[in-house]
Every structure is written in C-alpha cells, then in structure tokens.
Chains A and B, each alone.
Chain A
Amino acid sequence: DAGITQSPRYKITETGRQVTLMCHQTWSHSYMFWYRQDLGHGLRLIYYSAAADITDKGEVPDGYVVSRSKTENFPLTLESATRSQTSVYFCASIGTSYEQYFGPGTRLTVT
C-alpha cells in the first residue's frame, strides 16, 4: 500500500510491558514524526527524525524510545507502558513540498 501504514491499529497491553508501534512509509520521505493525541491536549510531538539514524526528542518524549535504521521505518517503543500512555498514536512524514501526511493511527490502551 502506498503512503503511511501503522501497525497494530489497536493494542491492549498491561502496565509494565514493552510495546512497539510500527510505522512504514513508501515515499522515502526524510522527515518522520510520532504524535500522540489525547482529549484536552490535542496533538503532541513525541519524537521526530530527519533521516535514518538521526532522531530527536519532541514535546513529550519521556517513556518512549525510537529508532530509524531505514528511511522507510520509524518504530516507537514504550519501554515500560504506563496507564498515562493510553492514547492514540499517529505517525507522519513530510514530503518535498513540506506537506505533512499522517498514518491512520494506533489506539493503545494500557490496563
């Protein structure tokens, strides 16, 4: 499928478990982003990446880890999930015209 795909689309996990959310884009865009969206907080940037092996923290990075060994993949890992990390997570990328494209999201519930 062309565009940005995220997996899984829905995930329920327990407190303390490690969880990895996957993001894959087919355009070879350099810039990629992870956001979380919560009622009352809007979209908040977790981590971003300018290229393979170049990542940096966003607004709310605590408890999350990212890696980017390949341009097309940008996985987000919750090292030890907490209930406060229950949220909808969106992956995004920016094209050459600086237009941002979003994936369909992953709804994560931490019990």
Chain B
Amino acid sequence: KQEVTQIPAALSVPEGENLVLNCSFTDSAIYNLQWFRQDPGKGLTSLLLIQSSQREQTSGRLNASLDKSSGRSTLYIAASQPGDSATYLCAVGPDSWGKLQFGAGTQVVVTP
C-alpha cells in the first residue's frame, strides 16, 4: 500500500527565506505527483503537477522536483512572503480508479 509522508509537520520561517518542503512515498510506480495549498477554512488549490516522466515543474516562485527512484519530491518556494503561510499537501497516484494518496501536510508560517 502506498504511504505518503511529509516532514516536518510544521515549519516557521522569516520573510524572504526560501522554503523547502519534503514529500516521500513508498511505491515508485506512480503516474504523477501533485502539490496543493490549503488556506485555513478553505479548499485545496492545486499548485503543481509533475508527471512521472518529468523531473521538475516550475510556476513563478514555486519549483517542484520529483525523484521516483528515491521516492521523493521537494517543493521549493523562493523568497517566501507572509501570504505563503498555509498548509501544503502532496499527493501521488492515481491508481486505476483515479484515487490519489495524500500526505498529512506541512503547515507553513512565514513571519514578517
């Protein structure tokens, strides 16, 4: 059974520092890996989707890498801002039913 782990569970950084969020998974036979952001009391917003054949994806200040052989993905957020404060979740899959396996998330606080 696929297991997805995100460490640390919480992270606090000063504004301007780069953020590094980790996601690890046990089964490398994945179709893609997706990073989400969730603000308090809100739904999940898709940030980046990395197909299994790709090594990384970039969007603005966000860069996500994927290393299937080691079962790891890293989300980098450059020059963090207080508005980046949120919970970040990664998910891998999908299986034949389209289901994703989610990590528990990393709660990020960026202090001014």
Contact = CB atoms under 8 A, between A and B. Distances in A.
Interface of A: 30-31, 33, 42-43, 45, 48, 50, 56, 58, 90, 92, 94, 97-105, 107
Top-4 shortest CB links A-B:
A31-B98, A102-B44, A42-B104, A102-B43
Q: Is the interface of A mostly helix, strand, loop or mixed?
A: strand
Contact of A98 (B43, B94, B104): B94
A89 B34 CA distance: 20
Interface residues on chain B, size class: 20 to 34
Interface of B: 31-32, 34, 36, 41-46, 49, 51, 89, 91, 93-94, 97-100, 102-105
Contacts, number: 55
B97 A31 contact: yes
Contacts of B104: 42
Contacts of B34: 99-100
B44 A90 contact: yes
Contact of A56 (B31, B93, B97): B97
